């Protein structure tokens, strides 16, 4: 069974109530349930944190797995520590953003994380996680 880490960063614990016009009304639990139903043969490791160092450690935990889906939240724009951790993990990696960050404020349009991942999905809402999983499983041979 393929093991995939799905890591969610800062402020994503508030999904469902935080700016639903941008991020939708689904909670992280809803997204987890959707992924488990859509990909029943996957052993998921779902995690969310508001602590950057904890996220860096979790990225390292993905070594040897089938892949990693990461929504860094605001760390996207300034966390070189997260970039370096992602760069060091040799598994398929996808950066996910619920909103279309390229259609928002200028500062949101730059990701310091993107150069360290294989693909980026933005603006698809919760569907972006499904797209990311399809990519990870396709790259790892698990789908």
**What residues does each domain of the chain span?**
2-140
Number of neighbouring beta carbons within 10 Å of residue 125: 16
Sign of the dihedral defined by the CA atoms of residues 103, 86, 92, 68, in that order: negative
Q: Choosing from 5, 23, 83, 129, which is the catalytic residue?
A: 23
Measured distance CA(124)–CA(100) in Å, rounded: 7
To the question of domain 2-140 being in CATH 3.40.50.11540, the answer is: no
This model's pTM is above 0.85? yes
Q: Choosing from 5, 83, 97, 129, which is the catalytic residue?
A: 97
Q: What is the pLDDT along the chain (143 residues), one digit of tens a residue?
A: 899 999 999 988 877 776 767 666 789 999 999 999 999 999 999 999 999 999 999 999 999 999 999 999 999 999 999 999 999 999 999 999 998 777 666 766 689 999 999 999 999 999 999 999 999 999 877 65
Reply yes or no on whether 23 is catalytic.
yes
Reply yes or no on whether 102 is catalytic.
no
């Amino acid at each position: 069974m393929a093991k995939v880490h799905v890591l969610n960063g800062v402020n994503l614990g508030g999904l469902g109530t935080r700016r639903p016009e941008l991020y939708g009304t689904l909670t992280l639990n809803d997204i987890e349930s959707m992924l488990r139903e859509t990909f029943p043969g996957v052993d998921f490791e779902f995690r969310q944190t508001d602590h950057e160092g904890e996220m860096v450690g979790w990225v390292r935990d993905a070594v040897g797995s089938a892949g990693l889906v990461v929504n860094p939240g605001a760390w996207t724009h300034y966390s070189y520590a997260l970039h370096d951790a992602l760069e060091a993990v040799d598994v398929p990696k996808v950066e996910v953003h619920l909103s279309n960050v390229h259609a928002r404020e200028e500062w949101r349009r730059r990701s310091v994380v993107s150069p360290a991942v294989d693909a980026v999905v933005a603006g698809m809402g919760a569907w972006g996680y499904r797209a990311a999983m399809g990519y990870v499983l396709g790259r790892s041979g698990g789908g």
